[in-house]
Chain A
Amino acid sequence: MEGGGVGEVVRVDGGTVFALPSAASLKGRVPVLPALREVVPGGGLWPGSAVGVAGPGAGSLGLALVAGVVRHGGTDESGGWCGVVGMPEFGVVAAAGMGAAPERLLLVDEPGERWPDVVAALVEAVDLVLVRPPEAPGPPVVRRLSALARKHGCVLVVPDVAWPGTRLRLRVEEAHWEGVGAGHGVLRARRARVSADGRGGAWLWLPGPDGRVAPVTPHRRRLEVVA
């Protein structure tokens, strides 16, 4: 890829140029959507780690992480598989809008009390499992599933529930919906400041008007060669 070891150069609208971590430096990481690369430390998720998403906006963050793996994951980056357990309300259309191919999702809507076995089966096969346990998981279950996930390099994303050993916590710190007024308009997009472990915080369109996740372009004038 161009840019070699320095970084992959992405041109976004308005002509502003960002330097993102290069493909080489992402090797061995589970990929995220390009817009999230500057939020997530290292530009990707650690294989086998647990990721927490909490608070308002947790649903969209979960979708974005799933979409990143389905779109950019897999052995040859042609697309990975994701499992979604215990979330019948998972917005498939929104995930597709973020770039996920829906047919590479495995949905287990009603795992009931067998959810640890379902997650154990999935972590061996897919790159990321989004799971909402029906009850607070006990330490033995957490240990078993964390060990399995580490062994197979599968990322566990657990929304809203405390999961011991969580390596990375993503949060929407601030969010503003745009497009709706007092009795008119239509929801167009949301500006959201997303932080990782309380640090940083990049403004993203989550989602943008076309459903995608994109960095909010800062109003910065381009330097132009005038003479």
Chain B
Amino acid sequence: MRVLVVWCPDWPATALGIDAAVPGSVLAAGKVAACTAAARAQGVRRGQRVRDAQRRCPDLVVADRDPDAEGRLFERVAEAVAELIPKVEVVRPGMCAVPARGPSRFYGGEESLRLHVQDAVVEAGFDCGAGVADGLFAAELAARRDGGVIVPPGGTAPFLAPYPLAVLERPELAGLLARLGVRTLGDFAALPAGHVAGRFGADGARAHRLARGEEPRPVAPGAAGGDLAVRAAFDPPAERSEQVVFTAKRLAGDLHAGLAAGGLTCVRLAVEVGFVDGRVLHRLWRHDGGLSAQAVAERVRWQLAAWRPPAEDAVWGGVAWLELTPDQVVPDTGRQESLWGRSGVTDRVARAADRIQALLGHRGVTRPFMVGGRDPGEQVVRVPVGDLPPHDLPDGPWPGRVPAPAPAVVPAAAPRADVVDARGRAVRVSARCEVSSPPARITVPGGDAERVAAWSGPWPVAERWWDPARARRRARFQVVTDRGRAYLLAVEDGDWRIEAVYD
């Protein structure tokens, strides 16, 4: 099957708005997940640790990976391609594929089609390569070579032969083969298929098929019937995207139940969203290892987020129906199905969280996780229910951390306070951390003055002094008033703020 692949280089960096001319890198789990061409020119590579990358390129712009942004922004590329060829399959954010046979006849040849598609994407504002070949694997490599080439029908095996085994993205297999003296796809393809399957198992056989330029799976065991499709109608039409996403989660569950009954799993999913005025938003989503219900809902959210005007939360016109169709189905060889980021969330709690997310949006309900940090507010991150908790967080020590016990009330934005001495003058703290006079009264917003019964401080806190833009210098006080209340105060540039209340 002839396939045209559009591949946008360094998509994780593009999605975060890092210009290709700027040396920049995107991190996942403390390692470089993607970098721009400028960074690559200075020796930054994927998989490097940040420290190594920064040593090679000191002015490297570093950002954390954001898969949501990648998915959202890539919708615009898919949109541009869909203008020319309606049947676009998003393989992953950064790469999409279309069947090339029909459209190439319409556009007058494969080269003409390739240029048309490439121009459309470049016009949409994204750098890309487009390549045509037999099968997805070869087409991706064709798209990545010199801005895109065309591999003639039947020419896949010679085209693939010089590539190193790393392109198979199976490091263990590649390492083993390298030790056996097999270094290129051509060498690997020359091995007898039966022996490869016997020695390396099903996954090895799949890799071998790829190397020989064949489809990774012989054929789908049967076209997915329409009976596996699941559909939900909204009456009245859904005005908010969260409502649709919430339903998508449930539909995905139904879909998986239907597939599981047939011992199947779905690697490509068609999501159709119908609007009130009859327009239909159709998109194919591919996933390497089967789509979980959570992942399906996420993709529906991306699809809707790209459609509606970004500032407004209302789905344009209202959504009338939603349909999920398994487009490509393979036998289920067994995998762990995980709906939630972490086990331990009971069904009841998951359902309640779903309902609240449908009301308030994905970030509406969160679970707190304790992380390192100095301020009482910094020590907690709130993770939306369903997202993975943070990992690889820096661990202390945190000099200047407020000692236990922790305050009971930690306002998100510290309110101002007035702190004066016995003669009514504002209390100041000098650069050498000397208090001008002992605090005698404090006034909190919305309250009357309270007399200070006991106080302690100042405790200087100098944070990020090495980074002038983010450096902060504060002095903290603990104050107990005559009403038995205790406050954690901080003074910064003469401004007093209530960081926390020991209520």
Contacts and interface: CB of A to CB of B under 8 A. Distances in A.
B360 A110 contact: yes
A176 B480 CA distance: 9
A59 B408 contact: yes
Contacts, number: 171
B456 A189 contact: no
A50 B497 CA distance: 34
Chain B residues touching A, range: 35 or more
B145 interface: no
B376 A96 contact: no
Contacts of B502: 60, 177, 187, 190
Nearest to B478: A187
A7 interface: no
A21 interface: no
A62 B385 CA distance: 23
Contact of A186 (B403, B484, B500): B403
A163 B269 CA distance: 50
B370 A102 contact: yes
Nearest to B348: A125
Nearest to B373: A93
Given A56-B483, A89-B412, A126-B352, A183 B367 contact: no
A92 interface: yes
B455 A121 contact: no
B351 interface: yes
B369 interface: yes
B503 A57 contact: yes
A145 to B, nearest CB: 14
Interface string A89-106: 111111011000011111
Contacts of A96: 370, 406
Contacts of B368: 92, 102-103, 105, 107
DSSP majority for the A interface?
A: mixed
A184 interface: yes
Given A93-B379, A125-B352, A186 B364 contact: no
Contacts of A121: 352, 355-356, 359
| Most-contacted residue by chain A among B435, B484, B503 (CB, 10 A) | B503
Chain A residues touching B, range: 35 or more
Interface string B452-469: 001111000000000000
A30 to B, nearest CB: 16
Contacts of B478: 180, 186-187
Interface stretch (A41-49, A195-203, A206-214, A215-223): A206-214
B409 A190 contact: no
B405 A122 contact: no
B404 interface: yes
Given A93-B406, A105-B367, A183 B380 contact: no
Contact of B370 (A56, A93, A114, A125): A93
A184 B456 contact: yes
A59 B349 CA distance: 25
Interface string B375-387: 0100110100100
B352 A181 contact: no
A182 B352 CA distance: 49
A111 interface: yes
B410 A91 contact: yes
B410 A182 contact: no
Interface of A: 56-60, 62-63, 81, 83, 88-94, 96-97, 102-112, 114, 117-118, 121-122, 124-126, 174-177, 180-190, 207-211
